[in-house]
Amino acid sequence: MPPTPDQPLLAFDRPVGSIPYFSNQVTINGKTYDEFQTTDPGMALITGSCADLGKFKVPRLSGLASRAPYFHNGNAATLQDLVNFYDTRFKIGLTSQEKQDLVNFLNSL
């Protein structure tokens, strides 16, 4: 199906440094116009649909405690390990009590 103004062609082909750079291009009567530029197009990268720009499918938190180990490589054996990882990685600065509260909350889901 050819692109239209309400459903333009998406082109995902411009790298910027080491980060992929994505451009939403509208083609009308053979002329291409750049309309939207991003480094993270969301589901549009998979579907090619402008309606999916910025949309993401995220995993449910419900039942998270029963799905250990965590991460693609099983690097976090417990929810405590998971919380500690994110606290360190993103320099959040949670107190011990805040970490425990978060683990308790995640266990309750």
- Find all residues with CB under 8 Å of 23, minimum gap 6, and list them: 11, 12, 13, 14, 34, 36, 37
Residues of the chain with pLDDT under 70: 1-28, 33-39
Cα–Cα distance for residue pair 56/33, rounded to 1 Å: 25
Give the residues across from 11 on adjacent strands. 23
Strand order across the beta sheet in which 19-28 lies: 10-16, 19-28, 31-38
Confidence (pLDDT) at 63: 94
How many other β-carbons are positioned within 10 Å of the β-carbon of residue 103?
A: 18
Confidence (pLDDT) at 18: 53
Cα–Cα distance for residue pair 79/68, rounded to 1 Å: 8
Confidence (pLDDT) at 93: 97
